Structure 1
Amino acid sequence: MKGRVIKSTGSWYHVQLGEETIQARLRGKFKQEELKLTNPVAVGDWVKIAKEADQATWVIQDILPRENYIIRKSTRKQHFSHILASNIDQAFLIITLRNPRTSLGFIDRFLVSTESFRIPAFLIINKMDLIKERDMEFLEVIQEIYKPLGYPVYEISALENDDLKEKLLPILKGKSTLLAGHSGVGKSTLLNELATGANQVTREVSKFTTKGVHTTTFAEMFPMPEGGYLIDTPGIKEFGILEIEGQELSHYFVELRDYLGKCKYHNCTHINEPGCLVLERLEEGYIHPYRYDSYLKIYHEEDSHR
C-alpha cells in the first residue's frame, strides 16, 4: 500500500493512508542514491508500507523516488546530510531582523538549496511589530536584493495576525509548503495561525542570548483548510550546503545563471579569470555585491572540502 510520511519521530513514522494515519517503522536499511543521511525517511516521502504479521503496526518497505527535496549538511555527523522535507511545491524561509537576526549568508545558502531543484522560495519577514528604526536599513537591503531576483518578500507579524491570512493563504492553497528558519523566528506561531488543527508549542526568545530555543523537535505536515500542507521543521542554526562542483554553484544564483556560457572560458569560476562577464556585470552594478560575496564564501568553503 502507498502512503505519505507526515511526521517523523526518529524511529517511528506517521504515514497518511487515505483518511487514516498509521504508525510505521523501518525494516532494514535503505541505500539512497549514495547519500549519507541522518534521516533515511523524510517527511513528505511517498512510501510503500505493509502491515506486520499478527501486529497492529506497519513497516515501511520502500521509499518511492522523490521529485525534489531540501537538504543540508548534518550538524551532528560529519559527511552526513539531513533532508528537511521532500516532494514539496514551495518553501517559506521565515526571517527576523532581530531576536534572532537572520543573516544574508543564511538566506543565500537556503536559496542555493531551493534553486538546486527549482523550488519556488518566498522570504517571509516576521516580527515586524518588534523592529526598531535601526533595523530599517537591513529591511531595505533585503527588499533591494531579493525582490529584483524574483523572490517575493512578505512583511508580517504572526502574533498580531494583521491581514496575515489575506496575505498568505492564497499562496498556500493546494500546495505542500515547507517552513524553515532559525529557532525563534516564529515558525510555530505562524503555523498555529494558518494550519488546521496545529497546536505547536511556542516559546519566547531568550533575552540573554537573543537566540531562539528549539520548540519543534520533529518535522511534521499539517493540512491546510483549503487543501495543501504546511510542513513545520526544527529550527536551523546553520545551513551547510552539500559539496558542489565549482562551476555548478553559479547555476544556483539566479543572477549569475543569466551569464552561463557567455564568459571567455567555458569553465569560468567568476572569481579572477580574464574575460569574465560576471565580473564585468558586478563592476557595472548589475550584480549585488552582497550576493557575490555570498557566492565567494560558499565557493571557497566548498573548495576546501574538494
Structure 2
Amino acid sequence: MEGGNQSGISEFILLGFSDQPEQQRLLFFLFFLMYLITSLGNLFIILAIVTNSSLHTPMYFFLSNLSMVDICFTSTTIPKMLANYISGNKAIPYGGCLTQVFFFILFAVIDSILLASMAYDRYVAICAPLHYSMIMTPKVCVILIVMSWFMGFADGLISTILLTHLSFCGHSEIPHFFCDLSPLLKLACSDTSINDMMVNLLGALTVNIPFVGILASYTRIFVTVMKIPSTVGKWKAFSTCGSHLTVVTLFYGTLIGVYFTPTSTHTTQQDTAAAVMYTVVTPMLNPFIYSLRNKDMKVALRKLIPRKLCLSL
C-alpha cells in the first residue's frame, strides 16, 4: 500500500483524546476494559451458538457472524490506541495507517450488510412464516455472508487505493484515535473530489441501501404485527425485533451522522464521540442486547459460563 504514496510522508500522528498523563491512564483502563468485554462477550455468543444445536438457525447464524466481525472491528482500532498510551508514541506508519483504513471499512461494511440480512430474516419469519424454511435456506444465508465480505473488501480496497494518490504536504497530525477516512481526507492538501464522490457512491451501496432495506423490512413487520389480535402475540413479535432495532439505531445513527452529513456541520469532538459509539460501544453492547432478553441464548450461555456468573443473567 505504500507504493502509491504521493506525499513522501512516512507516518501520521494520532492525537487521540488527551495529552494529559492522568487522563491517558484513565482512558487506557477504560478502553482496555471495553475491549475485553467486547472480545469475551462476543466470543461467548459464538461459542454458545456453535455448541448448541437448537441455535443452528439463520437468525443465530447471522448473529454469530456479527459477533465475529465485531471482535475484528474493535481489534482494528483499539489495540493500536492502547499501545500508543503505553508507549507514549502516537505515531503510526503510513502503510499501517492505510491498512487500518482498509480493515476499518471492510468490517464496517460487513456489519452494515449483516444487520440488513438480520432484518430481512425477521421480516420473513414474521410476515411469511409458512415460507420461512423455503426462503431462508442455508444456501441463501451463505450467499448473504459472502456478499457482505465481497462488498466490504471492494469498498475498503477502492477507498484505500484512492488514498494513496493524495498528497499531505507534511501535515501528519490526525485529530482522531485511529486512521479514519474522513479526517484523512480533511488532512490532504490535494484534490479529494474523486475520493469524496466514491465515499458517497460506495456509502450509498453499502450503508444507505441496507439501511433503507431495514426500514422497509420493519415497516412491513410493524403492519403485520398490528394485525395480530392478541396483545401477547404482538408483544412476542415485537420483542424478537427490539434487540436488533436497538443495535441498528446505535450503529447507523452514528455512522450516517459522520459520513453522510455535511462536514461543515461537524466538529472534531462530535466526530470522535460518534466514532467511539459505532467502533467501541455498539460492539460491546451487542452481546448484552441480543442475549439478556433471549431465553434460548440464556440457556446456551449457562452451559458455557460458570454458574455464579450466570445467576445475574
Q: Which interval holds the TM-score relative to the shorter structure? A: under 0.3
Higher helix fraction (1 or 2): 2
Higher strand fraction (1 or 2): 1
Q: TM-score, normalised by structure 2?
A: 0.25
Q: TM-score, normalised by structure 1?
A: 0.25
